[in-house]
């Protein structure tokens, strides 16, 4: 019998590339008996028009919840809405909130727009990743600061929507790439010496620290938060990597083996968002559709585990205060 916090551990032992034995997001729902069981709940997924965001939205729709996605391109968003409506024979409706993660002001407007459409929020999935032109280092600005802003402005709706049988949840997509670097406090925009992997590492560490802080501060009020490393898949973000790196990865059998279909990569995100065993649990680093462990080989991209600096109360508190100032946000209690 598998550990209840690592229910699919045996599926992640002998990896064989996209479509192998690793679970899909829909399989996670079925295993938790959650198909059409979350009617009345409300979920918001950022970056819901491509890659993992579409698959997460698709799965959450299958729970019966009302699902919102954020989108910068409304035409593209409408195509996703139409496609998912067709797949469910029109029985479920996906709603769209316009938001450009490149702009903090757009994020603030989106939060206000969402709250005008729904006074409830049970599940927030911070999924999107892109670049910013707000004056902040690109990856820190979007991967962390934009999602921090959205989460902070939606905080009043999350604890108030919590119920005894389903505490509200925040799931933030991170990466084992957080191991490259914690935040560089002396040069958060990396203006002195820019390194793209250090930039990525500090932004992904920030994702983890955000969820740790939220869970620690709001857990007693029925809001829990976890960070998710979804594992390898060819998302639009990876397509922006240098061609030589993608070629190197493509010719590496070990890299090919860890790659997944989008619906498989979305599985851990969905597990964090709805799995019954995660009820009331937070402040965890999730990978392989379970609670993750500390990495045994921090230099290997094949190791999904977390670095020791992923859990740092002092750093989490400091990042929270810095983010409030950078985003010019006040938390409404």
Q: What is the pLDDT of residue 1?
A: 36
In a 3-state reduction of DSSP, which class is residue 226? Answer: strand
In a 3-state reduction of DSSP, which class is residue 279? Answer: coil
- Mean pLDDT, rounded, for 114-129: 93
CA angle 114, 52, 130 (to 5 degrees): 70
Do 171 and 124 form a contact (C-beta atoms < 8 A)?
Answer: yes
Q: What is the pLDDT of residue 63?
A: 95
Range of the domain at 85: 24-327
Q: What is the CATH number of the domain that holds 215?
A: 3.40.50.720
Residue 314 above 60 pLDDT? yes
Residue 190 above 60 pLDDT? no
Give the 3-state secondary structure percentages of the chain, helix then strand then coil, rounded to 5.
45, 10, 40
Q: Are strands 123-126 and 285-287 parallel, antiparallel or unpaired?
A: unpaired
Q: What is the pLDDT of residue 31?
A: 97
In a domain, 304, yes or no: yes
Compute CA distances 38 → 42, 260, 269, 274, whole Å: 9, 27, 17, 9
In a domain, 12, yes or no: no
Choose the catalytic residue: 8, 12, 180, 200: 200
In a domain, 17, yes or no: no
Assigned token pair, 313: 């109360």
In a domain, 279, yes or no: yes
Total domains in the fold of the chain? 1
Q: Where are the alpha helices (DSSP H) in 123-165?
A: 138-139, 147-154, 157-161
For residue 264, give the nearest of 45, 20, 50, 34 by alpha carbon: 20
Q: Are strands 285-287 and 290-291 parallel, antiparallel or unpaired?
A: antiparallel
In a domain, 19, yes or no: no
Assigned token pair, 139: 């990856």
In a domain, 6, yes or no: no
> What are residue 88's DSSP bridge partners?
none
In a domain, 8, yes or no: no
Q: Which helix (H) or strand (E) holds 124?
A: strand 123-126
200 part of the active site: yes
Do 161 and 120 form a contact (C-beta atoms < 8 A)?
Answer: yes
Alpha-carbon torsion angle 298, 255, 209, 31, nearest 10 = -120
Q: pLDDT class for 242, splitting at 50, 70, 90?
A: low
Summarize pLDDT for 153-168 with one digit per residue, the tens: 999 999 999 999 999 9
In a domain, 257, yes or no: yes
């Amino acid at each position: 019998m598998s550990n209840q916090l690592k229910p699919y551990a045996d599926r992640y032992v002998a990896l064989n590339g996209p479509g192998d034995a690793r679970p899909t997001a829909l399989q996670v729902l079925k295993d938790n008996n959650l198909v059409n069981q979350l009617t009345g709940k409300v979920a918001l997924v950022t970056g819901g028009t491509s890659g993992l965001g579409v698959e997460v939205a698709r799965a959450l729709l299958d729970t019966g919840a009302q699902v919102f996605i954020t989108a910068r391109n409304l035409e593209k968003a409408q195509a996703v809405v139409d496609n998912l409506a067709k797949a469910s024979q029109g029985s479920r409706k996906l709603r769209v909130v316009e938001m450009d993660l490149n702009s903090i002001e757009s994020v603030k407007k989106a939060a206000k727009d969402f709250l005008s459409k729904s006074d409830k929020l049970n599940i927030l999935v911070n999924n999107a990743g892109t670049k910013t032109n707000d004056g902040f280092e690109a990856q820190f600005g979007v991967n962390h600061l934009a999602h921090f802003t959205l989460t902070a402005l939606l905080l009043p709706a999350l604890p108030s929507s919590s119920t005894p049988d389903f505490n509200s949840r925040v799931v933030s997509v991170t990466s084992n790439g957080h191991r490259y670097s914690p935040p560089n406090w002396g040069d958060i925009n990396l203006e002195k010496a820019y390194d793209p992997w250090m930039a990525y590492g500090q932004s992904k560490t920030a994702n983890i620290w955000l969820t740790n802080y939220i869970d620690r501060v709001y857990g007693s009020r029925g809001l829990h938060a976890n960070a998710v490393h979804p594992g390898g898949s060819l998302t639009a973000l990876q397509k922006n990597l240098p061609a030589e790196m993608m070629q190197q990865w493509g010719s590496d059998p070990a890299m090919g083996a860890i790659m997944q279909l989008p619906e498989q990569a979305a599985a851990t995100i969905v597990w964090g968002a709805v799995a019954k065993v995660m009820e009331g649990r937070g402040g965890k680093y999730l990978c392989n559709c379970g609670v993750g462990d500390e990495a045994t080989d921090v230099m290997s991209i094949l190791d999904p585990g977390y670095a020791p600096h992923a859990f740092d109360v002092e750093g989490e508190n400091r990042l929270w205060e810095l983010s409030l100032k950078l985003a010019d946000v006040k938390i409404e209690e």
